[in-house]
């Protein structure tokens, strides 16, 4: 019975853990403070409303933003909704990479959010198209997959260790002192008479 029980748990470790770790949306959630700036900014860029978008851009970057606004707005209008793929904290701000696949093309947008007069504003943004996913996105997916395999290996090794420990405990008397067998050889017994 205990062997079946251990075999059951080993199979759970081998197949159950990876199944539990498959999430449909593995993208990082945006902090509320950053989302309050980035989401309305992207909505304004999609609509082509430059004046509304400039409310969220830091004053030092507004001129550069105006140069690229029309082209970036056109790319985002045709693209599906982008979701945050990578989030890197930089001091009090953040560097976000949004990615989405549209047919065979990837639409990638990068945004750097910084604190300007104690409120978050966009210091830099860019939208590009590419034939393949950004490298950081593929590396992140690979790391998640390897982490799943590592957890599966650790769980399997722990269960194998538990199985061997149970086996040792159940058979410890045989390991410490093997069962004694009756000796079958003949022994000659001599008695000495010590009396004179």
HEC string for 133-193: CCHHHHHHHHHHHHHHHHHHHHHHHHHHHHHHHHHHHHCHHHHHCCCCCCCCCCCCCCCCC
Q: Do residues 82 and 42 make contact, with C-beta atoms less than 8 angstroms apart? A: yes
Domain that holds residue 46: 31-133
CB atoms closer than 10 angstroms to residue 137 = 17
The reply to whether 24 falls in a domain is no
The residue among 47 and 21 whose pLDDT is bigger is 47
List, for residues 94-107, the tens digit of each pLDDT value. Answer: 878 887 877 888 88
pLDDT at 24: 47
The yes-or-no verdict on residue 175 having pLDDT over 70 is no
Same domain as 35, residue 126: yes
Last residue of a domain, one of 80, 100, 133: 133
CATH code of the domain covering residue 90 = 3.10.450.630
- Is 71 in the same domain as 105? yes
Domain co-membership, 101 together with 40: yes
Same-domain pairing of 36 and 129: yes
In terms of residues, how long is the chain? 196
Q: Which pTM does this prediction carry?
A: 0.54
Whole-number pLDDT of residue 191: 66
The answer to whether 127 and 73 are in contact (CB under 8 A) is: no
pLDDT digits (tens, 9 = 90+) for 1-11: 566 766 676 67
Contact residues for 15 (Cβ-Cβ < 8 A; gap 6+): none
What mean pLDDT value characterizes the chain?
A: 75
- pLDDT tens across 126-160, in order? 888 887 777 766 677 777 788 888 888 888 888 88
Residue 181 covered by a domain: yes
Residue 196, pLDDT score: 62
Mean pLDDT of 72-78: 82
Three-state secondary-structure class, residue 124: strand
Structural domain count of the chain: 2
Q: Note whether 128 and 151 are same-domain residues.
A: no
The verdict on residue 48 lying in a domain is yes
Indicate the residue among 103, 133, 163 that finishes a domain: 133
- Residue 13 main-chain phi, psi, to 5 deg: -65, -40
| pLDDT on residue 147 | 85
Residues 42 and 118 in one domain: yes
**Residues 9 and 74 placed together within one structural domain of the fold:** no
Q: What percent of the chain has pLDDT over 70?
A: 65
């Amino acid at each position: 019975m205990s062997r079946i029980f251990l075999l059951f748990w080993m199979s759970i470790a081998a197949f159950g853990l990876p199944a539990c770790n498959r999430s449909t949306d593995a993208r990082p959630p945006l902090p509320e403070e950053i989302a309050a700036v980035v989401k309305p900014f992207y909505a304004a860029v999609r609509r082509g409303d430059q004046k509304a978008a400039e409310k969220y851009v830091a004053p030092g970057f507004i001129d550069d933003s105006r140069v690229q606004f029309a082209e970036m707005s056109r790319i985002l209008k045709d693209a599906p909704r982008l979701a945050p793929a990578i989030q890197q904290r930089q001091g009090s701000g953040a560097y976000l990479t949004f990615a989405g696949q549209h047919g065979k093309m990837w639409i990638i947008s990068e945004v750097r959010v910084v604190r300007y007069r104690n409120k978050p504003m966009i210091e830099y943004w860019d939208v590009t198209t590419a034939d393949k996913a950004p490298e950081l996105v593929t590396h992140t997916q690979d790391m998640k997959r390897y982490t799943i395999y590592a957890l599966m290996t650790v769980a399997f090794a722990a269960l194998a260790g538990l199985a061997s420990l149970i086996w040792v405990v159940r058979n410890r008397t045989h390991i410490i002192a093997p069962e004694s067998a009756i000796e079958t050889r003949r022994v000659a017994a001599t008695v000495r008479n010590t009396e004179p």
